[in-house]
Amino acid sequence: MDQQVHTNDRGSFGSNIGFLLSAIGSAVGLGNIWGFPYKMGKCGGFTFLLIYLCLAVFVGFAIMMGELALGRKTGLGPVNAYKAISKKFKWVGWLAVAGGFFVLTFYMVLGGYCIYYVVINLIGIFGNMPDSSSFGAMITNPGLSIGVTAVFFLICWAINRGGVAGGIEKFNNIGMPALFVMLIIVIIRALTMPHAAEGLKFMFVPGYATKMTEFGQFVESTPGVLSILATAGGQMFFSLSLGMSAMITYGSYLDKKANLPKNSGIIVFADTFIAMLAGIAVIPAAVANGIAQGLTVDQIKLNGPGLLFSTLQDVFHNMGAIGGIFGVIFYVLVLIAAISSAISVIEGVAVTFIDHASAKGKEPSRTRAVTLTCVILAAFSILVAADGLGSNGIAPWQFFKLGEEAIANWNDCWLDFFDLVAEGILMPLGAMLMACMMGWELKPKFMEDEIKQGSNGGAMGFWGFCIKFICPVVMFFIVLVQVSDFFGLGWF
Ligand code: PFF
């Protein structure tokens, strides 16, 4: 290895449970709430679940363990961890940092939206309950969107600045159990609504949700196995926070005695379990409310920001004043999920500055690193916030004065653009290269010592097989699918 730097200044987790809650906090985010349940419904219910679980075990688990092992072995964040192994891999670390960075550009704005929704529901308890029209009003108001995004930035900045044990771990130790309790409350409320069973059918019964509304248009589809595989793969990857520098960084703060295979298994299981629970909370409520309004299931928006910020807000609106209380509980829950995810990636970017300083023999300043990260990020997030999902005339294609037809499947907004860059290219590409590097260039044996520390090494054979043969192929497939999907190439 070229270098091995451990400084006390980087910090470390105080306990294994604190690490686990933080890593689960990173994984459980908006992706679980607004992506998983809809994709499961649209892609054949249990069939999707089964494929998702296989991918989570053979790919998600293996890449998770690879990232944690890489971080812990080197004691460094992505860029310096790869560089420590060999200078020629350093740029793979940059892919992870850049991938995480571009996801953050819009995630911070969505986090800001959550804050706004907590506030308007709180006010709703005492007065008029807001409805789905709040969403349009919010995104077409750049000042408001930028303002709430700034508050979200401040919260994350304060947590990251507090350090690993003193900020990140402390937040997750309280936030994650609270999130779980709130989720149970919301589930109980949702399942006791009339017609809630239709929502459960949407999620679990294959073929029930083949006619869907996307971007206001009817899309009729019965997805094939390849397309289910593609959807499940992309979702699994994003949901586990892989390829975005968070897990390598959290691994670098982990105790040498901690059991990597067991921890990886727990994180993958918890993330999937909470995604299911989130589905059982939001889909039945949204469907029940839609049916009560005279809509059919295929007319209800059940995906993306529309589900979170307009469909569900209507649910709370129609509950009357009590809806404000449930609204506050629900949006605080989503806000916690967003914060715990965002701080993991902010940390993954900021640690690059921290490690860089200590590699140069300087005393690293966490405050400076976190502040610098947030300031650079803010320059991009302002664009996403002001753009308002493409409603304010500054979306990329409008901005560059190109015809919208330039890209077939293009939903012209900065959020989608940065999402393509991150989720579509940088992240899966980085993870594919990591799997190739560990499986073929270094060989799984390279990580054996690290994996055997704190575990009996029983998972070694399984991990080696997955990282060598399954991960590169599946990850390559995911890269192809993301590109095809976004440009409407229809390869799958
Ligand atoms: N695992 C997160 C989710 O499912 O929402 C993905 C994520 C996105 C994590 C953005 C962190 C982040 F900043």
Pocket of ligand 1 (CB under 6 A): 26-27, 29-32, 103-104, 107, 238-239, 241, 341-342, 344-345
Domain with 244 in it: what CATH number?
Answer: 1.10.4160.10
Three-state DSSP class for residue 442: coil
**SS3 state of residue 33:** helix
**Cα 44 to middle of ligand 1, angstroms:** 24
Shortest-distance atom of ligand 1 to CA 104: 13
Of all atoms in ligand 1, which is nearest to the CA of residue 29? Answer: 5
Tell me the sheet residues that pair with 289: none
Residue 488 lies in a domain: no
> Does residue 443 lie within any of the structural domains?
no
Distance CA 66, CA 54 (A): 18
Distance 342 CA to ligand 1 centre (A): 7
Query: Would you say residue 474 lies in a domain?
Result: no
Domain, as residue range, for 150: 16-409
Residue 361 alpha carbon to ligand 1 centre in Å: 33
Residue 467 lies in a domain: no
Of ligand 1's listed atoms, the one at least distance from the Cα of 107 is 10
Total domain count, the chain = 1
What pTM was computed for the model? Answer: 0.93
Assigned domain for 449 exists: no
> What pLDDT tens digit does each residue of the chain (492 aa) get?
444 444 446 889 999 999 999 999 999 999 999 889 888 888 888 889 999 999 999 999 999 999 999 999 999 999 999 999 988 889 999 999 999 999 999 999 999 999 999 999 999 999 889 999 999 999 999 999 999 999 999 999 999 999 999 999 999 999 999 999 999 999 999 999 999 998 998 888 877 765 544 444 545 566 778 888 888 998 998 999 999 999 999 999 999 999 999 999 999 999 999 999 999 999 999 999 998 988 888 788 888 888 999 999 999 999 987 999 999 999 999 999 999 999 999 999 999 999 999 999 998 999 999 999 999 999 999 999 999 988 888 887 766 655 555 554 556 788 988 988 898 889 989 989 999 999 999 999 999 999 999 999 899 999 999 999 999 999 999 888 877 776 777 777
Pocket residue to mutate for ligand 1, from 238, 267, 415, most atoms within 8 A of Cβ? 238
Q: Is residue 428 included in any domain, yes or no? A: no
Q: Which atom of ligand 1 is nearest to the CA of 35?
A: 4
52 in a structural domain: yes
Angstrom distance (rounded) from CA 209 to CA 216: 16
Atom of ligand 1 nearest to the CA of 342: 13
> Closest Cα to residue 215, out of 135, 106, 303?
303
Q: Which of 30, 157, 247, 336 to mutate to test the pocket of ligand 1 (most atoms within 8 A of CB)?
A: 30
Residue 385 lies in a domain: yes
The count of residues in the chain is: 492
Which parts of 37-111 are beta strand (E)?
Answer: none
Longest dimension (CA), the chain: 67
Instruction: With beta carbons less than 8 A apart as the criterion, state whether 312 and 43 touch.
Output: no
Determine the distance separating the centroid of ligand 1 and the alpha carbon of 99, expressed in angstroms: 11
